[in-house]
Amino acid sequence: MPTVLITGANRGIGLEFARQYATDGWRVFATCRSGDGLGDIGMIEGDVEGLVMDVADHGQIDAVAGRLHNEPIDVLVQNAGVMGPRRQPFGGTDYREWETAMRVNVFGPMKVAEAFAAQVGRSEQKRMAFISSRLASMTENTSGAYFIYRSSKAALNAVAKSLSINLAGAGITSIILHPGWVRTRMGGPDGNLDPAESVSALRKLIAQSSPADNGRFLNVDGAEIPW
């Protein structure tokens, strides 16, 4: 059976990724920042294992990677992320929050990619998906603000783009995905997609991706997003 590893899988679209892959008969490794998130993961029916792995804690990443050393991972979904303060007025920047966002949104995915590249490379499907945001697009930034979130996701995109080149020799396809405006705790109640709709579309993009898609930045509907 195919195997998926999902970071930030205890709520929102991460939890929905775990549900949908489990429903389709995949073996699911669902990670969360602390033991508090294991309860929701444990309620999913299927071959699902919840693991504590804070992507800001490199020791935890190494520990989980060591535990799963012999497990081929067909799809690695890098979903864990933080938004930072919603109100970020110029002149009132919270630099500690900015540092946290960079650790979680950028350094974490890079470390996870380094720790699990071998397992992905040994699988049949060999895919990595990075959940980003179209707020990272510099071309589409016509409103400003969101300094912390925009910059950290733009940095994530740069990391994922470089990984798509560096890991291509191992046969790994890496794509960058915007999930849409989803009704989650991060997205708020006014989004135009529910988690099930978003994840269903994202899973199709992941499943259909090929080496020709390496490094592409795609909207939930499959349209290319300008850098």
Please indicate, yes or no, if residue 225 is contained in any of the structural domains: no
d(CA 101, CA 46): 32
Please indicate, yes or no, if residue 43 is contained in any of the structural domains: yes
- The H or E element spanning position 97 is helix 95-102
- Helix, strand, coil tally for the chain in percent (to 5): 45, 15, 40
| Number of folded domains that form the chain | 1
What is the model's pLDDT at position 87? 78
Please indicate, yes or no, if residue 144 is contained in any of the structural domains: yes
Q: Which CATH number does the domain housing residue 74 bear?
A: 3.40.50.720
Please indicate, yes or no, if residue 55 is contained in any of the structural domains: yes
Please indicate, yes or no, if residue 78 is contained in any of the structural domains: yes
d(CA 199, CA 48): 17
d(CA 222, CA 153): 19
Residue 172, number of CB atoms within 10 A of its CB: 22
Please indicate, yes or no, if residue 173 is contained in any of the structural domains: yes
Ranges of residues in the chain whose predicted pLDDT is under 70 = 185-191
- Single pTM value for the model: 0.96
Please indicate, yes or no, if residue 10 is contained in any of the structural domains: yes
Mapping DSSP to helix (H, G, I), strand (E, B) and coil, where does residue 75 land? strand
Please indicate, yes or no, if residue 209 is contained in any of the structural domains: yes
What is the model's pLDDT at position 221? 97
What is the model's pLDDT at position 37? 93
d(CA 5, CA 52): 12
- Greatest CA separation found in the chain? 52
d(CA 132, CA 175): 10
The burial of 191, by beta-carbon neighbours within 10 Å (0-12 exposed, 13-18 middle, 19 or more buried), is given as: middle
Nearest by Cα to 129 from 171, 176, 169, 161: 176
In terms of residue numbers, what domain contains 193? Answer: 3-218
What is the model's pLDDT at position 9? 98
